[in-house]
Structure formats: C-alpha cells, structure tokens
C-alpha cells in the first residue's frame, strides 16, 4: 500500500513539474515571438532618434557659431564707443 502511495505521489509531482516547464516554455516562445516582431520597428526608431540627435547637435553648433560671429561683429562695430552691448 505504501508503495502505491509513493508511486502516485511521485507521478503527481513529476506531472506538476512537467506542466510548469511546459508553461514556462510557452511563455518564453511568446516573448521570443514578440521580440522578433518588434525588432525591426525598434531598430528603425533607434535610427530615427540618432538622426534627431545629430540634427540637434548640428543646430547647437550652428547657433554657437552664429553667437560668436554676432559677438565679433558687435565688438567691431562698437569698438570706439564705451558701452556694453549684450
């Protein structure tokens, strides 16, 4: 009688473990499918963000150059005057 109970207990335990592993495997397959489906759009979005950053950096450089040019022009125009131009 003990032997039958022992076998039934282990059978149930192993069936439960098998079920858990099948569920984990299914979840992993679903996650892998989602990652695969989103990979190309995510890469496109990353490229767009890199382009935006490059544009912002270029604009910052242009604005900085323009300010220094404006400062130089102000200094040349007002060299003879004794006032501060902001």
Segments making up each domain of the chain, as ranges: 1-63
Residue 83: its pLDDT value, please? Answer: 59
* pLDDT surpassing 90 at residue 81: no
Q: What is the pTM of this model?
A: 0.48
**CB crowding 21-57: b at 16 or more within 10 Å, else e:** eeeeeeeeeeeeeeeeeeeeeeeeeeeeeeeeeeeee
CA atoms within 13 A on the CB side of 72: 6
pLDDT in tens, 15-64: 999 999 999 999 999 999 999 998 988 899 999 999 999 999 988 888 77
Question: Once rounded to an integer, what is the mean pLDDT over residues 70-80?
Answer: 58
**Any idea which residue has 């003990």 for tokens?**
2
Q: What is the CA radius of gyration of the chain?
A: 35
Residue 71: its pLDDT value, please? Answer: 64
Residue 75: its pLDDT value, please? Answer: 57
């Amino acid at each position: 009688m003990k032997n039958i109970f022992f076998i039934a207990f282990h059978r149930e335990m192993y069936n439960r473990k098998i079920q858990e592993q099948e569920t984990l495997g299914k979840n992993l397959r679903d996650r892998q499918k989602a990652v695969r489906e989103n990979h190309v759009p995510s890469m496109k979005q990353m490229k767009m963000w890199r382009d935006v950053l490059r544009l912002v950096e270029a604009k910052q450089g242009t604005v900085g150059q323009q300010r220094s040019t404006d400062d130089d022009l102000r200094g040349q125009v007002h060299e003879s005057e004794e006032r501060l131009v902001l």
